[in-house]
Amino acid sequence: MKLDAVKFGLAAGIIYGAMFFLYALLGALFGVGGEMLRMIGDFYPGVSPTYPGAIIGAAWGFAIGFFFFTILAWIYNRLLGEG
């Protein structure tokens, strides 16, 4: 079964972005995971346990999820020989 690479990437980007957003939001609201978020912020500038950091994290998460999962679906389709 062939995957639509762009739709697969969009779905993964939305999930990954929501994950980053919720994790940073929980850090901002309840102070959980602050140290881990600061380490993540070393790789993804702007991600922090703050409200703006949650928005930036959502953008990073979407971009990363979309990019890598689109490539994953493309490779999968090539391996199937249907791409």
Tens digits of residue pLDDT in 1-38? 899 999 999 999 999 999 999 999 999 999 998 888 88
Mean pLDDT, residues 29-51 taken together:
92
pLDDT given for residue 54 in this prediction = 95
pLDDT given for residue 82 in this prediction = 57
Split into its structural domains, the chain has a count of: 1
What is the pTM (predicted TM-score) of this model? 0.89
Q: The domain containing residue 49 runs over which residues?
A: 5-80
Name which residue leads in pLDDT, 82 or 14: 14
3-state secondary structure the chain: CCCCHHHHHHHHHHHHHHHHHHHHHHHHHHCCCHHHHHHHHHHCCCCCCCHHHHHHHHHHHHHHHHHHHHHHHHHHHHHHCCC
pLDDT given for residue 83 in this prediction = 47
